[in-house]
A and B are shown apart, each in its own frame.
Chain A
Amino acid sequence: MTDMTPIKTPAEQALSRAFGLAAPTLPGDAGVKSLREAAFGAFETAGLPHRRVEDWKYTDLRVLMREAKPLAAPPTADDIAAAKDAGAAFATAGARRLVLVNGSFVAELSELAGLEEGLTILPLARVLGEGHPLSSRLGSLAPQGNAAVDLNTAFMADGVVVHVAAGVKIERPLLIVSRHVGAATADVTRSLVVVEDDAALTLIESFEGPDGVDYQTNSALELSIGRNASVELIRHQAEGESALHLHTLMAEAGAHATLKGCTLTTGAAVSRQQAALALNGDHIVAALRGTTLLRGRQHGDTTLLVEHKGTHCESRELFRTVLDGTAHGVFQGKIIVAADAQKTDGRMASNALVLSDGAEMDNKPELEIYADDVQCGHGATVGALDEELLFYLEARGIPEAEAAALLIQSFVGEIIDQVENEAVRDALMAGVMRWLAQRAGTPQARG
């Protein structure tokens, strides 16, 4: 047998060229530079993940990412003008808006005045450029050997850095909007959010872009939650219908912390949202929930890793997927309970509603338990709309399409109902209604 050297795909070759060209000008001190080089080295060795890489079995990036788009240039005045309405879907939430256009932080579209006492918001480019102390936190939560993260670390240039001082509870939600405008580029954003002990923050991320442009987003968020701190994290991925979207949440929580997450995925041709959550202290309560609605030929992957390292922690992961057309949904979730993480209560469920014969769902829930006094469970279901339920609604005069929409709405509504902020909840539900209206081919959903 001869040792096979894998042939590099055009996308891999383009990424190598791009890194060679960009590396000298990317911001950061020597520490950041070596972080980048190590990350890119790891990527170059492994290449784009493909179906024989267990973690990427259902999302073969070598096939799904045929080419690597050129790195986005800083937005022009026209680009910025085109992004003026960024985050409009969340307008009623009264959030503090922070805007990234094609991966670059745009101060003039962001609300930086009147920051609450104890809240610091900085563009990542500045943090890297100045060698700000927070830059040393970057990469500390990055999982090893993850191509999306390695590429993000290699190319990271801008994003949002947020620091909430100990004991400070920020009432007003932060809204980070990643907006793509113009031709197809690769938009890389890296954000870092540090919520110190006893502090609180609500963070909304919104991803938006035009249909018909095959741009590529690689976004990563490092989130550090201190002891007894509380974070609610909401994300709406509403990328344009031709986009490729990779998102990684890397989070750690200290003792008695609370994390509540809710995601809504409706956009992109190909998307993968991955989350790695480390529960490092005792008595942490974490809930990651989300719903994904896909149609046409969309591909949407949700991959989670929750590590219980302290005792008496509770984690809940509940994801619901709705698939139409020939869409492909993926859920991979793993809960690892360390040997001394006694009294862990971990539950994970993935439920999929398949509306057409051509759609496909792959579920892979896993538990790895090394402690002996725990309560853990997982479950996965895939089903069609209940015919008996549909008939019940139709027998009351509700037309079939409307009855189906009502049932889909209730299926995903149970996830979105968990969001605390009513205006945010309404904004997410409006996203669901838009999806239903598009599915029905009507311009406006019924109220």
Chain B
Amino acid sequence: MLEIRNLHAEVEDRKILNGLNLTVSAGEVAAIMGPNGSGKSTLSYVLSGKPGYTITDGEVLLNGESILDMPPDERAAKGVFLAFQYPMEVPGVATMTFLKTAMNAQRKHRGEPELTTPDFMKLVKAEADALFIKQEMLRRPVNVGFSGGEKKRNEILQMALLQPKLAILDETDSGLDIDALRIVSDGVNRLRRADRAFIVITHYQRLLNHIVPDSVHVMSKGRIVRSGGKELALELEANGYRDYQDAA
């Protein structure tokens, strides 16, 4: 599904990714853990195409196709989805309008017909109910006045509606209380499918009790320095990142 080979990336002449290699298979949930400043969020931005990052070497293949030259909207239409650590507030754009615009833009990109309003409404209602998102919230501007938990649930709602092939969750657990964490995790688990891959970026092991990964990768100084099974997360939780601060 996803192959990252020898990826080097810089932002403002600062090297952040230094030869990162990672393969994630369809159906796999890969957790990426690491100390602050190891480049976890940069990886999520580089994969989703955020401007401002310069790729100096390496490649990223999604189902065999290189995505690094594609603008963000094209990557999204190919199935890349980033759940933001800090979802943006979009004043003046109703959540409903935003969701419909995004879904139809992706469908258009793929040459599919636009959703009719009744079909769209039916889809949104089902997914929103599952995430305990009230209809009233959907009429409000995107994320404006939403609590931290509501913003994260809104991210998962978008993921559920957009049905990505590769979903990247960037510190989705940050700022969530235990109830919100459960709702968000249940939402993600419901979306696990044999033909969908997840990259779950987190600093803490806590999230991985709820979203149980198939593989765990430790990132340090812009590279994956160790990979293992889900037990690796427990080891990190017990020992901390001190073994990795000077690695690489």
Contact = CB atoms under 8 A, between A and B. Distances in A.
A397 B50 CA distance: 13
B110 to A, nearest CB: 10
Contacts of A370: none
A392 B142 CA distance: 11
Contact of A398 (B88, B92, B101): B101
B84 A398 contact: no
Contact of A397 (B51, B76, B84, B87): B76
A210 interface: no
Interface centre among B51, B72, B90 (most CB of A within 10 A): B72
A171 interface: no
Nearest to B141: A410
A394 B51 CA distance: 11
A413 B49 CA distance: 29
A409 B101 contact: no
A389 interface: yes
Given A391-B50, A391-B51, A392-B84, A397 B162 contact: yes
A369 B162 CA distance: 55
B37 interface: no
A394 B75 CA distance: 9
Contacts of B98: 393, 396, 406
Interface in B139-186: 141, 158, 162
B229 to A, nearest CB: 30
Interface in A389-444: 389, 391-400, 402-403, 406-407, 409-411, 413-414
Chain B interface bracket (under 10, 10 to 19, 20 to 34, 35 or more): 20 to 34
A388 interface: yes
A388 B141 CA distance: 17
Contacts of A391: 50-51, 72
B49 A395 contact: yes
B106 interface: yes
B90 A389 contact: yes
Contact of B93 (A394, A397, A410): A410
Given A387-B51, A402-B105, A397 B77 contact: yes
A403 B91 CA distance: 13
B78 to A, nearest CB: 9
B109 interface: yes
A442 to B, nearest CB: 14
B24 interface: no
B93 A398 contact: no
Contacts of A409: 92-93
B90 A399 contact: no
A392 B141 CA distance: 14
Contacts of A403: 73
Contacts of A396: 73, 76, 98, 102, 105, 158, 162
A402 B48 CA distance: 18
B192 to A, nearest CB: 21
B73 A397 contact: yes
Contacts of A400: 71, 73
Nearest to A391: B50
A398 to B, nearest CB: 5
B82 interface: yes
B90 A410 contact: yes
A39 B141 CA distance: 50
Nearest to B84: A392
Contacts of B101: 398, 402, 406
A397 B105 contact: yes
B92 A414 contact: yes
Nearest to A394: B72
A399 B105 contact: yes
Contacts of B81: 395
Contacts of B109: 397
B90 A394 contact: no
A258 to B, nearest CB: 25
Given A387-B51, A399-B73, A400-B73, A392 B105 contact: no
A409 B94 CA distance: 12
Nearest to A408: B92
Contacts of B72: 391, 394-395
Contacts of A413: 92
A403 B51 CA distance: 15
B171 to A, nearest CB: 16
Nearest to B161: A396
B92 A410 contact: yes
Interface in B15-64: 48-51
Contacts of A407: 90, 93
A388 B109 CA distance: 22
A436 B219 CA distance: 45
Contacts of A398: 73, 101-102, 105
A109 B30 CA distance: 71
A383 to B, nearest CB: 13
B48 A395 contact: yes
A356 B188 CA distance: 41
Nearest to A398: B105
A322 to B, nearest CB: 13
Nearest to A399: B73
Contacts of A402: 101, 105
B76 A394 contact: yes
A52 B87 CA distance: 48
B45 to A, nearest CB: 8
A403 B90 CA distance: 11
Nearest to A389: B88
30 contacts: A389-B90, A392-B87, A392-B90, A393-B98, A393-B102, A394-B49, A395-B50, A395-B81, A395-B82, A396-B76, A396-B158, A397-B73, A397-B77, A397-B103, A397-B109, A397-B162, A398-B101, A399-B73, A399-B105, A400-B71, A400-B73, A402-B101, A406-B101, A407-B93, A410-B91, A410-B92, A410-B93, A411-B92, A414-B91, A414-B92
Given A394-B73, A397-B73, 20 more contacts: A387-B51, A389-B88, A392-B84, A393-B90, A393-B102, A394-B72, A395-B49, A395-B73, A395-B84, A396-B158, A397-B77, A398-B73, A398-B101, A398-B105, A402-B101, A403-B73, A410-B92, A410-B93, A410-B141, A414-B92
> Lowest 10 A-B CB distances belong to which pairs?
A410-B92, A397-B76, A397-B106, A396-B102, A394-B72, A392-B88, A397-B105, A398-B105, A399-B73, A410-B93
